[in-house]
Structure 1
Amino acid sequence: MKFAVLGAGAVGCFYGGMLARAGHAVTLIGRPQHVQVVEAQGLRMQTLGFDETVPVSASTDASAVAGADVVLFAVKSPDTEAAGEQMRPHLAPGALVLCLQNGVDNAERLRAVLPGASVAAAVVYVATEMAGPGHLRHHGRGELVIEPSPRSAAVAQALIAAGVPTEVSDNVRGALWAKLILNCAYNALSAVGRIAYGELVQRPGVQGVMRDVVAECRAVAAADGVTLPGDVDLAVRRIAETMPKQYSSTAQDLMRGKPSEIDFLNGFVVRRGDALGVPTPANRVLWAAVKLVESRPTS
């Protein structure tokens, strides 16, 4: 099976690298500094289980999705429509576009710019970072939950064989909301404090704020008709236990002086709460706090 990864950052490089390591043809599409190193040296995957350099193709151009059976779509949420437009002329008929993104509405937004294409949402549970150009560091987990589509079962089998725990679920909307709740609980606090999850939950007052955020998210989800799978409160606690050294993606963005996805995390909950008449003061404060840090000069 031939794969392309559009948005080959930490998440895209992990899943693309795992598939390439298992023998699949994979092209990583990302920033020039990463692409140059990957083309010259391969992708270094420093994971909990191995530290290897994996040979893989790389490109800076969205046209490199041409011929791929599956596109792992891993761009930042604000870039969804623009990246979709860029790859649309090159997407093979029948190709599956699998959204490996934060937030709950990216697949819907992508379908709007890729009419007729097969687009499936996926829920991502992995702790990764780019430690340098062409150097992926994996801190834990790696599971995927995929929305049903004509190719989803075959893709899930390929991922499982590559060492990625994967399931196809009829309730991906609920799973996306459950992941959103985890992000809302951790991302902004990790970003404002520039602190990893394990230490974060030990700080005074943090767990109380997280409980307030989760309660608001659950109320908005209920008002929106979302059925949350599993024990959300347990899942929130497990994040700090299974990813103690992980900084949130929001923290990583701000520490590098990049725009964050906070508008699609706590900001999304605030907007849906406003639309549905559900108060979300804790999420609003965290959203505003990250926006303040985001606007601060990096010098």
Structure 2
Amino acid sequence: MRFAVIGAGGLGGFFGGLLAAGGHEVHFVVRGRTLSALLSTGLSITGGFSARVDRVQATDDARTIGHVDVVLVAVKAGQLPDIAHQLPPLVGPQTLVITMQNGVDAPDLVAATVGREHVAPGVVRIFTQLDEPGRISHHGGPGSITFAGWDNVETPLVEATRAAFQAVGIEAPEPADIWVDLWAKAMFIIPTGALGALSGQPLGVLRTALRDELAACIAEVEALGRARGVALPPDAVARTLAFIDQQPTDATASLQRDLLADRPSELDGQVGAVVRIGRQLRVPTPRHALMYAVLSLREQAARA
């Protein structure tokens, strides 16, 4: 199959590298140091998964690639506006565009550029890290990607894409409802990331000393999902808390780690999206609004 991967960080480099090592034609759309590194020294993956691609096909201009079967959009949510112009040259009549961002609004943002008929919302469950351009390390997690067409309709291309992932060792289960999966992950990742960044505490503290606040934040995201028509289970908040209870006490979310380290983060794409969708649907999200306001000030100060 013919793939294009937008971004070559922890996710794009990992999934694209394994697919390329598995014999698929993979083109990376990247820029700057990452482009130079991929072209000069290749791409390597170490850890639980390992692969090496010596000759990487990479460019900073998607127009040189042409139409592909599948596009993996693997940049952070805040970078989506910057890469939107790279998508149309890659998308043919049947192309599948898989969104891989944390949060809930990436499918809508990408669909505004290429059309809903091409977008496959995706949920990634894996821990990877960009050690340096072209060098990705895998640190655990299920190592899976769950995706489906916008209306959960199976097509031959969706099935072939799942088979391509599975052939290189990546779990790609068929979801009963991709929107339930997407919002269920958001109920976990957004509140823990924002509350963790605000408090500076790991999951072990959030789920004990701050449990009531954590539950209330989860409930805000749940209410948005239901207002959007997502068929979340009746006990969705309890399930999310039970999942958090199973995680290591010292675990932290990537949003929290990025904010506390003054790195570019997905604050706007995750917490900001919750606030914006809440306003659009007239669903109150007071805790996320407060966390977004405070954390935005911190982020602005770090950039000054």
Structure 1-normalised TM-score? 0.84
Check if 1:39 corresponds to 2:39. Answer: yes
Shift in CA distance, 191/32, structure 1 to aligned 2, threshold 3 Å: farther
Q: Match of 1:179, as an amino acid? A: K
Contact 2:78 2:266 in 1 (8 A): yes
Deviation at 1:276, TM superposition (A): 3.7
Partner of residue 292, structure 2:
287
Q: Which moved more, 1:96-105 or 1:204-213?
A: 204-213
Contact 1:200 1:206 in 2 (8 A): no
Shift in CA distance, 117/270, structure 1 to aligned 2, threshold 3 Å: closer
- Distance in 1, matches of 2:285 and 2:260, equals 27
Tell me the alpha carbon deviations over residues 209-251 of structure 1, each in whole angstroms, 9 at most, x when there is no partner.
3222112222232233221258554445545755777653324
Deviation at 1:177, TM superposition (A): 1.0
Q: Match of 2:287, as an amino acid? A: A
Shift in CA distance, 153/52, structure 1 to aligned 2, threshold 3 Å: closer
Instruction: Determine which of 202, 205, 209 is the counterpart of 2:209.
Output: 205
Partner of residue 80, structure 1:
80
SS of structure 2 residue aligned to 1:44:
strand
Deviation at 1:191, TM superposition (A): 3.6
Over the aligned positions, Cα root-mean-square deviation in angstroms equals: 2.9
- Distance in 2, matches of 1:244 and 1:6, equals 34
SS of structure 1 residue aligned to 2:182:
helix
Check if 1:248 corresponds to 2:253. Answer: yes
Contact 2:198 2:295 in 1 (8 A): yes
Shift in CA distance, 243/93, structure 1 to aligned 2, threshold 3 Å: farther
SS of structure 2 residue aligned to 1:228:
coil
- Distance in 2, matches of 1:238 and 1:186, equals 12
Aligned length: 295
Q: Which moved more, 1:185-194 or 1:128-137?
A: 185-194
Contact 1:65 1:87 in 2 (8 A): no
- Distance in 2, matches of 1:253 and 1:227, equals 31
- 1:17-96 to structure 2, matched below 5 A, reads 17-47=17-47, 49-55=48-54, 56-96=56-96
Contact 2:148 2:178 in 1 (8 A): yes
- Distance in 2, matches of 1:129 and 1:192, equals 23
Partner of residue 189, structure 1:
195
Deviation at 1:140, TM superposition (A): 2.0
Contact 1:81 1:113 in 2 (8 A): no
- Distance in 1, matches of 2:71 and 2:10, equals 16
Check if 1:136 corresponds to 2:136. Answer: yes
Q: Match of 2:218, as an amino acid? A: V
Partner of residue 168, structure 2:
162
Contact 1:77 1:101 in 2 (8 A): yes
